[in-house]
Structure 1
């Protein structure tokens, strides 16, 4: 059996409370003993297609979607906002260069068929002395610069469209309008990316697994949430939903991906969650719980997923943010409790939160194997 790594910490302000708890500190020594083990080694892996990834991304794809809000324009805008900055920057530069080049080609074709390239240095055409479509252009390079000047509205400079060529005038107006639309579209994308709350939501961390143990005499499912950002989340609410692959109703109807809410504490229906420090969310497995009656083996083999959603308002920007994660049955560990993350006070008198202990657990002897009275002792090997 692999010996757990023992980490000795001098947390004097927490010794008195820990010495009173024989589970947490089974010895009378004035140190805190924390068994360390890689949580991933405790999870029995399965090839299960989850609905929501651990990072909060949805794995549900929509097909044959019609109706308002599903058009190509909306889809492209959403894709650009959600994509990485390097892709947004690439589209930003490419859109301008492509439009400049396309309209330069159109102007070149118009000038070619109008005979502008046969123009003399004095600005007169050899074709019966007619006025050219675009004055002072000699080759494709000069036309490309002319196209750039039109779309960026920096002025025509030495070249300009004359009133003798209707096709060139029409092309000029189309490019001016299209250029304004592209600029407005890309500015909207960049602004939406700057003010979006996705980056803020990434600072909200959930424990990689959930645990089941006794809490206040009641078998409970627990997971941990923490905010690692300096700006705080106010009015935070946490919701947990158990999604079963199938559920058969009393009438015999089979419901696919049935949703059942889990009552949790804190952050219930009428209370907000204080995220100044990491908080353990507790769901009591009572008679009303969908998990009631399951033991460890039954829960591991069950086909469900617990989706957790945290919603709140960022104090610095006053914008709402949302973070999600999920737990599969194989990511629920029985007979463990989360380790403390709040350590000794620093020199300035403030308690210190060690976020590296987010997923640290230790075994407890108070978790029954099922809803009976049989005691269950987890194995760390």
Structure 2
């Protein structure tokens, strides 16, 4: 029933929350670790207690009557067991259960309470799980940062294989010098395998790709350049509201979703409400047309038409002279090539953002991590399990 080979149960003791099993094993001849001769002579006994998996929802404690043998060479030694490692107070399958549970986004205290262990024991056991640094680079490499507050650094960096949708590594820092040291340690022939590098609109990431990934085409994540247009039209709406009466201003604020939502997704009533809103302000009406046109460009299937429409859109946005779009146009000019790559090749940071959400959940249920290596191993164990 226990599934522990060679165990004989002599006595069982029950409480409301735990079960104690007093067990022994059959006497047999064992090899001496010193001279190699077999001996069955027992020198003395001692009781060893260790944890096992819960039985019927109760914590299980096994008390084993352990023999210490003596050899003709004078060596004294304890018998060994397949299910119980040396110097451990829990069975192998408890350690395996800890690793299995750590792959879920649940707190360490929950795992410890379920198995009747301390949180420190669970953490110490999981520390034996280690994920090495990546040795092979993917075809599509995606990079992003997240707020981890681990290892005295506010932000950590995540590397993802955007094609196979798996985390490659977690870096303790996102600063340029740290990223340079990391990629410099990877052999050149591996870095040459990267054909596409997906990142947000942070200059350091693009600089890393230019310096260390010679064959990679840099792709700006679609979400990060589309939101430039969203921010611009939101700022136009906020400017337009300043000269409105309080009741109209409140209506505009509550109905902002009508301006941000795609026109073809609006109902007839919502379209009428939107038309009335756009009549209040000329710049807001122009900004809405710019937003709709840009969203339509992002949905085009043919790249040659998409590229021409995108360049025409930038020229038109410059010609209308809406101040809130100046920053957006500047960003599009600075990242022109990388945005066109996003249209052409279609890779995004979507898988990376999905992993970032999982990391946020893991961080929240764990009440944060101080030890970066433990945080890194937990992320890789949870997200790639």
Normalised-by-shorter TM-score class: under 0.3
Higher RCO (CA-CA < 8 Å; seq separation 6+): 1
Q: TM-score normalised to the size of structure 2?
A: 0.21
Greater share of helix: 2
Q: Normalised by the size of structure 1, how large is the TM-score? A: 0.21
